[in-house]
Amino acid sequence: MNNKLTTMAPWLAYFLIFGSLIFVGGDHTIHIASQVIILGLFAIAFNVLFGTTGLLSFGQAIFYGLGAYITGMMAKSFGGDFFVWALLIAPAAAIVLSVLLGVLSLRLSDVYFTMLTLAFAQLAWGICVKWSSFTGGDDGIQAIPKPELLAGGLNYYIFSFVIVTACLYLLWRLDRSPFGSVLKGIRQNPTRISFIGMNVFRHKLLAYMISSCFTAIAGGLYAGIDKSIHPDMFVWTMSGSIILMTILGGMRSFFGPLIGVAVFILLEDEIGRATQYWSFVIGAIMITVVLLFPKGIVGISRHFARLFAKKGGQRDNP
């Protein structure tokens, strides 16, 4: 019973915080909250690769940008009513692309994998910038039409909230499934996983496809927030920021990345406006987290919770 409560508590907090914003949030808060849940989906999908399977991809932005561009360009060409359909085509396209890239890059281990994913994302960014007749080049695409029902900021937030929650539930079930356990096993000891008859490569590829698919959904949703997309969604600092948010929150916990995204975006909203040296701040945060708090915010709070529990126990005991 108690156990069940602790597993459900993060979900409860999630619904309380992001659900209550529907009723109390102002325009700016809703805008920020939309970014948090959408990037939160991106970060949690990324963590399927990084925290769970132990694969550091530095190029997940390729699927984020792909999702955004498919959604944005389709809605632009076929009209606002197509926006929702485009959101379904985006993850399908991401799965196809992830199989192609995954077969190439997952054969390689470790640093090679990281660098290859980075190179592919930069290639996509280069194509997106250079092929301006098709993609709009450096300017990106503005004034993406949406269905009338999703026009307002609040309506779009509710729409995003529903989709993100559904995606998170699927990812959460996946994390706790036997398949999720195999992925964790691959992170800890790939040799043993192959000894018990599991195909390590196939599981890695599946994890890569799943992560990419949900990342594309996040990208497609993002295209609707400001109705504009730009090539920077492909660029490597996008992937870098997602990695930072993930470890800032805590890569060993399912909701950790979402917490990291929320903290990061709130900080950016405050500090990013005050200074032009925001990258410097990001870099400093990253060094601090990597050196001192590799388990992130969730790790720190778990540590304190354990300390607290111990003290409580001692008081009861004598």
Contacting other proteins within 41-70 (CB under 8 A) = 50, 54, 56, 58
Phi, psi of 258 (to 5 degrees): -65, -40
Does 264 contact other proteins by CB under 8 A? no
Cα–Cα distance measured from residue 14 to residue 77, given in angstroms and rounded to the nearest whole number: 36
Nearest approach, Cβ of 263 to other proteins (angstroms)?
Answer: 17
- Give the dihedral sign, CA 279/285/290/291: positive
Nearest approach, Cβ of 94 to other proteins (angstroms)?
Answer: 19
Q: Using the minimum distance from each CB to other proteins, give the nearer residue, 78 or 277.
A: 277
Are 16 and 140 contacting, i.e. CB atoms less than 8 angstroms apart? no
Q: Which among 50, 88, 63, 40 is positioned nearest to 207, based on CA atoms?
A: 50
Q: Kindly give, in sequence order, each residue whose CB lies less than 8 Å from that of residue 217, ignoring residues fewer than 6 positions away.
A: 41, 67, 87, 90, 91, 163, 167
Q: Using the minimum distance from each CB to other proteins, give the nearer residue, 5 or 291.
A: 291
Are 240 and 57 contacting, i.e. CB atoms less than 8 angstroms apart? no
Are 50 and 237 contacting, i.e. CB atoms less than 8 angstroms apart? no
Cα–Cα distance measured from residue 138 to residue 131, given in angstroms and rounded to the nearest whole number: 10
Q: Using the minimum distance from each CB to other proteins, give the nearer residue, 79 or 126.
A: 126
Does 303 contact other proteins by CB under 8 A? no
Nearest approach, Cβ of 240 to other proteins (angstroms)?
Answer: 6
Q: Using the minimum distance from each CB to other proteins, give the nearer residue, 130 or 173.
A: 130
Helix (H, G, I), strand (E, B) or coil at 294: coil
Does 202 contact other proteins by CB under 8 A? no
Binding residue (CB under 8 A) for other proteins from 114, 155, 165, 301: 114
Q: Kindly give, in sequence order, each residue whose CB lies less than 8 Å from that of residue 179, ignoring residues fewer than 6 positions away.
A: 203, 206
Contacting other proteins within 205-244 (CB under 8 A) = 236-237, 240, 243-244
How many residues sit in the footprint of other proteins (CB under 8 A)?
Answer: 39
Does 200 contact other proteins by CB under 8 A? no
Binding residue (CB under 8 A) for other proteins from 17, 88, 108, 300: 108
Nearest approach, Cβ of 122 to other proteins (angstroms)?
Answer: 5
Q: Which residues bind other proteins (CB under 8 A)?
A: 50, 54, 56, 58, 104, 107-112, 114-116, 118-120, 122-123, 126-127, 130, 236-237, 240, 243-244, 247, 277, 279-280, 282-284, 286-287, 290-291, 294
